[in-house]
Amino acid sequence: MSQSKPFHRNFRGFVESANSGYSQWAYIVDRNYAQCPEHYVRAFLLIQSDLLRLFQFVEPSDTNLIAYSYRMHELLMRTCIEIEANFKAILKENIFNPTDRNGDPIPEQRWNIGHYRKVNKTHHLSAYRVHIPIWEGTNSVYQPFKQWATSTDLPWYQAYNKSKHDRRTAFKEANFENLLNSVGGLLVLLSSQFRTEDFTPGSRLRTVSVDSYYSTKAARGNFFT
């Protein structure tokens, strides 16, 4: 990325001070900060709604992580397409112009996971943890981009590609665990851009300290933490 300042679609927390409250969210709702942010948030909220409906038929628990179905496959495809859309929006709005070995521009259609991983340096995706509050067992916390701290591998994203290109032989790759990692990954991407702002009329990006049953903070959509 050739651009130095300002950084678009890149949330940064402020050191707590007398004036940090307003300042640490006001820039997120500035019209110049991101192009059509509500477009990306709405897509996530629809995916989350469909995931919660899936929970009516597949209990969120350790024992169901290897379950797979056409509905899971469909939701995995939609989620990963949306993840790619967010990566491209971040890169394009920050003037990303990759070239090949010959110095020729690489068109957006050919951007791949190697290009997307560059976002980890600016958005710290590998540090995010997503908690599923309603869960039976011990696997309720996910770090979708954890591998990017040391390598380019993302098992759930590879599962998406395999099942997309060869569903007959890779259908089992579209399982519950990979789906949860992908939805968590989309939530992480949006949080790294917009914190918890959902861009609905009257919304304000503010945190209120109240007693809660869960020790973690509520994320966008009020399900994941």
47-56, Cβ contacts within 8 angstroms, sequence gap of 24 or more: 47/75, 47/78, 47/79, 47/82, 47/183, 47/186, 48/183, 48/187, 48/221, 48/223, 48/224, 50/75, 51/75, 51/179, 51/183, 52/223, 55/134
Per-residue pLDDT tens for 191-217?
999 988 887 776 555 444 445 555 666
User: What is the C-alpha separation between 111 and 23, in angstroms, rounded?
Assistant: 34
In our burial notation (b when 16+ CB lie closer than 10 A, e otherwise), range 12-24 reads eeeeeeeeeeeeb
Residues in CB range of 63: below 8 A, 6 or more apart: 136, 137
Domain coordinates of the chain in residue numbers? 32-194
pLDDT at residue 20 in the model? 61
What is the distance between the alpha carbons of residues 3 and 181, in angstroms, rounded to a whole number?
A: 31
The candidate with the shortest Cα–Cα distance to 188, out of 124, 137, 134, is 124
Task: For residue range 7-62, list pLDDT tens digits in order.
Answer: 898 888 777 766 666 666 788 888 888 889 999 999 999 999 999 999 999 999 99
Percent above pLDDT 70 for the chain: 85
Instruction: Output the pTM of the full model.
Output: 0.88
